[in-house]
Structure 1
Amino acid sequence: MLVIGGGPSGLSAAVAAARLGVRVRLVERYGFLGGNLTAGLVGPCMTSYSLDGSQQLIRGIYEEFVQRMMALGGALHPSTIPAGSAYCGFIVYGHDKVTPFQPEAAKVAAQRMCIEAGVELLLHTMVVDAIVDDRDADNPRVLGVVCAGKGGLRSVRAKVVVDCSADGDVAHYAGVHTRQGRESDGLSQPQTLFFRVQNVDDQVVEDYIRAHPQDFRPFASIVAKATAEGRFPAPRRGIGLYKTMEPGVWRINTGRVLRRNGADALELSLAEVEGREQTVALLDFFRDNLPGFEQVELRDTATQIGVRETRRIDGAYELTLQDLHSGRAFEDVVALCGYPLDIHDPTGSGGGTGGEGLDAANIYQIPYRVMLPRVHEGLLVSGRAVSATHEALSAIRVMPPCFALGQAAGVAAALSVGNRASPRHVDYADLRRELLAQGAYLG
């Protein structure tokens, strides 16, 4: 079995499958695991609980991952993080029970979980093509991938491939039909380069924000004035900032790069350049305008810009906004979630649900079929490239749901290998039983 991508979904898929006795190889383009957890500096992990914060929905491998980071002194359990706190950016809605963590702890916990499970890691390697048997046009089968890394090109074959590349790369190379962006114009959500700053006066920041409850987001009134005067360097209405476990160190989620395709190398290059220029300008703005940031210094920028949305496969089932809003029950449910719609305006500074005035229910379900391409066999797609509408994807694209989907994909792939059947024909009763045995929660 082959897993492409070592982010939350890939990590979870590889570990889940290997623990069922399947030989697993995990291909990752960086020299470490974690994806947006590490290379993207994205954090904290958004809620793994119901929207009201009353019930933990995403458990299993995600919960173990958090516990392992905690044992390293590199995470706080989400049950201890209330909505509106500095750890969740002072945001209440959708931010109850987030998980603060340190990227270095995530790297160590991820590789230990993989190695202990027997996963074979192939780092510094990118997938550049898919190997497909398409002699039967109505039933094409993915047989493996072509990789590029140290030593050149190599083909890697597998009985099942799990595409956790985030961009649906394997699916795209294999000829799976994909969609991108919103229905009206095809534009995807903007990209953001996360960075961390140090020498922040934590108490001054917290005191200021608590004293200005009228601000939509932290420092929103300062940003509004600067924007009106042409002095704010990013299309945002406030400062996205998250307290870390280190005194004076905060994650900054404020830059915004518009109209760039994260699945195209040239477009992605331009986005990286723009994101780092925004970072420099934002630091100057912070020092001159934000209370508590007068002595701020740059700690680091992310290895890669954060991409919220690219390709989505045309799957056996497309998850919709109405499914999330109604809390629809699925016979093949593999994950329960409570994170709300989170659509960043593809063209400007706006936000909101962007979904006909609807939002997700307190608890909603994700079915197994969103990971199954409509036609192709031998392939599962997990993470933010699953089959969902632009609106529905905005809720399930964050890290805890990706962990849950990855675990389900890994178990399904292992069952497929063991039964010598396509993932499409995995018995759901078997899948559910094994997920529950691995600590997942399915209601």
Structure 2
Amino acid sequence: MVQHNHRESYDVVVLGGGPAGITAAVSAARNGASTLLVERYGFLGGMSTAALVYPWMTFHSATGEQVIKGAAQEIVDRLQERGGSPGHLRDTIGFTYSLTPYHPEMYKVVAFEMLQESGADVLLHTSAIDVTAEDERIQSVTLYNKSGIQTVQGKFYIDATGDADIASRAGAPWEQGNAQRKVQPMTMKFRMKGVRLDSVKQYILEHRDQFYEKTLFDRLDELPLTSVSGFFELWERANLSIPREGVLFFTGPGADEVLVNVSRVTGLDPTNAADLTKAELEGRKQVLELEQFFRDYIPGFEQASISEVGSQIGVRETRRVIGHYVLNGYDVLDGRRFPDVIARSGYPIDIHNPEGKGITANFIREGGAYDIPYRSIVPQKVTNLLLAGRCISTTHEAQATTRLTPSCMAIGQAAGTAAALAVSLNCGNIDVPIRTLQQRLIGQGAELGLAKESAE
């Protein structure tokens, strides 16, 4: 007999316990919906913890306006209270205005505590393996874990799997990658300890031509060194096999620790298990190659060593569900406003070449921010499902900004609130009253760029 520690039916079922799924489940429960969050790992956090996607970038526009608040900011505040984050710091690379370091182990605990306080149920070590859908509605999801195979029913579902596993199985249309169906590369991230950051900073100041042009060189004496992009000459001299142009790393959370974001695995499909297996093996080989490179070539790393490697390879892009509006690159770069805005972001378009070296970066006009419309989290052909995280309805170009963690947190809060509202009103996803949704989000501290009265 299978033993259950949760109910068999809920108002809202959230699949995926990453940054988007966490805020979605917390928000759904806080808005009165009985809620279940299902996560395949034995911990929460998704790419932020399993793949070491660190730090969070960015809560601000390029001009310094904070455009993401709400549940995402609450997480940062709670981490700060227990010493798990210094809060928002300046990005010393200058690519974004700010970045937000955090301790992943504390994030796992903070997220779980918020879910418990909200009243949401959580089921870890559990994968969704099937979806039953009829008449454009999901009837149930089939789960697998150590207890066996179980079926859970929800009035509404939120796909926060990152890969649109639920939406695609439920019959929602989707697309993947660029015009050639090629996706951004995967990266195996890792930390190194024993780094002398004073030596790193000194080398930067003495060799400015070897670093990213937007680096805040003239402010390094007053700001903590948070990020480094460069060492171009040393990278070229080493002639490694990895298709990158230089080094990228971020400091912390330890005082002598950095997170290295350099490995690159291209030409593989993260939704294909065989390809994903190849990527894991290649990524870990690259990590060992990079550790030796840092020790041999980069000042300050002579005595450094690996302190942690991601539990899985980091995935930037897979399926994108086609919703009632497909957010595009022009919307992003023009800083477009939408009447059904449910989240905002100031992160630029940041596309890692799917086929080799190079990153395409395009910045938002006048250092502003763009709106993410509600219609982009509403899939076509499934009426009781919402999207949260990197699988929302965008083009390949726009996804290169909406995929960033703070954006996903904001989207998750909106999806959870909308799902609870839909349940209470007994309406389909596209019929959720936008003004009421916006009013609730603003009441929860979300930043929509609207005057409070305009959402009432």
TM-score (norm 2): 0.90
Quick one: which of 10, 14, 39 aligns to 1:3? 14
> Does 1:237 pair with 2:245?
yes
Do 1:334 and 1:366's aligned partners in 2 also have CA atoms closer than 8 Å? yes
Deviates more, 1:311-320 or 1:68-77: 68-77
Counterpart Cα distance in 2 of 1:290 and 1:97: 25
**2-structure distance, mates of 1:326, 1:249:** 38
Report the Cα distance in structure 1 between the residues aligned to 2:205 and 2:419, rounded to whole angstroms.
48
1:281 deviates by 0.8
**Structure 1 regions of 5+ residues with no counterpart?**
85-90, 135-139
Query: Is contact 1:321-1:359 (8 Å) kept?
Result: no
Q: How far is the alpha carbon of 1:50 from its aligned partner?
A: 1.0
- Output the amino acid matched with 1:23: S
Residue of structure 2 in register with 1:92 after alignment? 94
Residue equivalent to 1:273: 281
In 1, Cα distance between equivalents of 2:182 and 2:105: 33
The structural deviation recorded for 1:226 is 2.1
Q: CA deviation at 1:315?
A: 0.7
- Superposed, 1:43-54 pairs within 5 Å as 43-53=54-64
Aligned to 2:370: 364
- Give CA-to-partner distance per residue, 1:76-134, whole Å, 9 cap, x none: 111xx1231xxxxxx1022x211011101111110010000011001000111111014
Work out whether residues 321 and 360 of structure 1, in 8 Å CA contact, stay in contact via their aligned partners in 2. Answer: no
- One of 177, 184, 190 as aligned partner of 2:185: 190
CA distance in 2, matches of 1:413, 1:82: 35
Task: Quote the Cα distance in structure 2 between the aligned partners of 1:112 and 1:209.
Answer: 41
Residue 405 of structure 2 corresponds to residue 399 of structure 1? yes
In the alignment, is residue 177 of structure 1 matched against residue 177 of structure 2?
A: no
| Matched letter for residue 149 of structure 1 | N
Aligned-pair CA distance for 1:359: 3.7
Q: Which runs of 5+ in 2 are unaligned?
A: 1-11, 213-228, 450-456
CA RMSD of aligned residues (A): 1.1
Match status 1:218 vs 2:218:
no
Q: Per-residue CA shift, 1:213-256, capped at 9, x if unaligned? A: 212332111112222xxxx1311111111100312111010100
Is it true that 1:110 corresponds to 2:105 in the alignment? Answer: no
Which residue does the alignment assign to 1:88? none
C-alpha distance in structure 2 between counterparts of 1:260 and 1:240, whole Å: 22
Q: Which residue is equivalent to 1:310?
A: 318
How much has 1:345 moved relative to structure 2?
A: 0.4
Give the SS at the match of 2:99.
coil
Correspondence for 1:261: 269
Which residue pairs with 1:208 in the alignment? 203
Deviations 1:34-74 (A, max 9, x none): 11111111110001111222x11100000000011111211
Asked if the contact 1:233/1:282 (under 8 Å) is kept, the reply is no
* 1:73 equivalenced with 2:83 (yes/no): yes
Code of the residue aligned with 2:153 in structure 1: it is R
Higher strand share: 2
Q: Is the 8 A contact 2:238 2:293 kept in 1?
A: no
- Classify the secondary structure of the residue corresponding to 1:160: strand
User: Aligned to 2:50, what secondary structure does the other structure show?
Assistant: coil
**Letter of the 1:2 counterpart:** V
Contact 1:143 1:378 in 2 (8 A): no
Q: Within 1, Cα distance between the matches of 2:383 and 2:261?
A: 39
The residue type equivalent to 1:113 in the other structure is M
Which residue pairs with 2:160 in the alignment?
Answer: 164
Amino acid at match of 2:72: Y
Residue equivalent to 2:39: 28
The Cα shift of 1:207 comes to 1.2
Work out whether residues 319 and 366 of structure 1, in 8 Å CA contact, stay in contact via their aligned partners in 2. yes
Which residue number in structure 1 is paired with residue 445 of structure 2?
Answer: 439
Runs of at least 4 residues off by over 4 Å: none
Q: CA offsets per residue over residues 284-312 of structure 1, 9 Å max, x none? A: 11111111111111101011111000000
Aligned residue number for residue 378 of structure 1: 384
Q: 1:279: how far off?
A: 0.3
Match for 1:314: what amino acid? I
How many residues get paired?
419
- 8 Å contact from structure 1 (residues 102, 245) kept in 2: yes
Q: Matched residues, percent identical?
A: 41
Tell me whether 1:422 sits opposite 2:418 in the alignment: no
Q: Which amino acid aligns with 2:436?
A: D
Question: Does the alignment pair 1:320 with 2:328?
Answer: yes
Establish whether residue 19 from structure 1 lines up as the match of residue 30 from structure 2: yes
How far off is 1:360 after superposition? 2.6
SS in 1 for 2:430: helix
**In 2, distance between residues paired with 1:26 and 1:210?**
48
| Partner of residue 56, structure 1 | 66
Partner SS state of residue 24, structure 2: helix
